[in-house]
């Protein structure tokens, strides 16, 4: 068999180097972020996130899956304190799982790369609904934070076409 006829020809690779891209500060309280790939239509978000020591995020329910690779620092889910995530840890979070992110004060923070499908549904400590954190919402937060820091055009990949009828 030869090469397939239908290929996605690329003039250039779709690549960014996080060491050369701006870090967008405080996209969420205590969380700096480098967006890498945001696809609001399909609900996929790929980001690098840096968490400050002492950061706790709302308890959340996942509608989809998460692959979370910790690059540095440490953090854990409050519900699973005996399974801290440290440099080199890979964590898979199945859809329907629920937990509360916490980066302890006595760590130097945490640095992680994650691929998320779907939304985090956030709840407060009493279990009351707070908000839906999906790709579109994250993109709005990223862009707003970037612009407030003088970064007019944060660089990340995003599928360009909005889906409509193919031949209209
Ligand atoms: Fe999670």
pTM of the model: 0.94
- Cβ atoms within 10 Å, residue 23: 13
168 C-alpha vs ligand 1 centroid, how far in Å? 40
CATH superfamily of 29-138: Jelly Rolls (2.60.120.10)
30 C-alpha vs ligand 1 centroid, how far in Å? 16
1-56 residue pLDDT tens: 888 888 888 899 999 999 999 999 999 999 999 999 999 999 999 999 999 999 99
Q: Rounded distance, CA 168 to CA 156, Å?
A: 29
Q: Where are the domains of the chain?
A: 29-138
DSSP 8-class letter at 157? B
Q: Rounded distance, CA 115 to CA 130, Å?
A: 23
59 C-alpha vs ligand 1 centroid, how far in Å? 8
Taking a 5 Å cut-off on Cβ, the residues next to ion ligand 1 are 93
What local confidence, expressed as pLDDT, does residue 158 receive? 97
> Which backbone phi and psi does 56 adopt, to 5 degrees?
-125, 130
Phi-psi sector, 152: left (phi>0), alpha (psi -120 to 50), beta? alpha
47 C-alpha vs ligand 1 centroid, how far in Å? 13
161 C-alpha vs ligand 1 centroid, how far in Å? 29
**Banded pLDDT at 93 (limits 50, 70, 90):** very high
């Amino acid at each position: 068999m030869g090469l397939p006829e239908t290929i996605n020809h690329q003039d250039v690779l779709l690549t960014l180097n996080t060491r050369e891209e701006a870090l967008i500060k405080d996209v969420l309280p205590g969380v700096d972020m480098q967006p890498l790939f945001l696809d609001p239509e399909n609900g996929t978000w790929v980001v690098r996130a840096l968490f400050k020591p002492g950061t706790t995020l709302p308890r959340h329910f996942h509608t989809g899956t998460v692959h979370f690779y910790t690059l540095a620092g440490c953090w854990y889910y409050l519900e699973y304190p005996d399974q801290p995530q440290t440099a080199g840890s890979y964590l898979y979070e199945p859809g329907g799982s629920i937990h509360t992110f916490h980066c302890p004060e006595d760590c130097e923070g945490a640095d992680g790369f994650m691929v998320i499908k779907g939304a985090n549904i956030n709840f407060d400590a009493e279990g009351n609904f707070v908000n839906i954190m999906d790709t579109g919402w994250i993109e709005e937060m990223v862009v707003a934070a970037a612009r407030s820091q003088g970064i007019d055009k944060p660089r990340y990949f995003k599928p360009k076409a909005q889906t409509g009828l193919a031949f209209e």
